[in-house]
Structure 1
Amino acid sequence: MSPNITMSKTDFNRIDLMLEKLAAVRMHGKEALSNELLRAQVVEPWEVPPMVVTMNSTVCFRLDGSGPALCRTLVYPKDAGLQADTLSVLTPVGSALLGLSEGDRMQWTHPDGRTLTVEVLQVLYQPERAGDFHL
């Protein structure tokens, strides 16, 4: 079972619009992200708990409970790769991280069919916690 997720209304609306624009484009990751939107508890940006992964958050996580911690900033596809250590929300692990809280674990399916687990270790930066609501 997947953990509960929380999203800001701003992130939800922007991602929903992005997915709408990509409707005609065949792209891996759209379905997983759409499914995340369906199960999200949507709140005002200033109501997002401080340890939740939101868009533009910098998060440290671990894959499959082993190996080194990875720290990435969760971004929209247009911003992926513009700076080092960014992670597009359209990647499987990016969509899995969105809305999770520190300590949460979630399974997701890699494009090659493997089932992997991602664990949120720490949210280093969250725009909403910093008062940067991107309205």
Structure 2
Amino acid sequence: MDLLSHDVPDWARVLAHRAPGDHADAVQRLARWTTPAVVADVLADSGRGLLAQVEGAPAGRDWVAECGGLLGAVLVLAEVDAAASALRSAVARARSRALAELVLDHSLVELAAELGVTRQALHKSVRGVRGL
């Protein structure tokens, strides 16, 4: 059973982590091998099931077959990587904005000690966010 069987997604929603200009190429490649629902399920699982199967671990679902074989699985794993990269970028931006707010009321030394990083590393994280 698909994790998202109650809500059949389209490619645009499944690939929301991609820049709009990247959708067409990704859809063209993926659509030859699998469906948006399968890619959505793999992304919802953070790729764990597919990774386990590719690594030879038993899986309750034949992820590789649902991806259209190993080539499709590689393409879907690339989407997991792209989604993770987009998330890392968003987290870094949010963290920098939050740190920039914190340095308005706290010293870099105090915050660095609390976060377990150097003052220089903290300064690098917030530099440019508020002109610091």
Q: Greater relative contact order: 1 or 2 (C-alpha under 8 angstroms, separation 6 or more)?
A: 1
Structure with higher Rg: it is: 2
The structure whose residues are more often strand, as a share, is 1
Same fold (TM over 0.5): no
Structure-2-length-normalised TM-score: 0.26
Structure-1-length-normalised TM-score: 0.25
The structure whose residues are more often helix, as a share, is 2
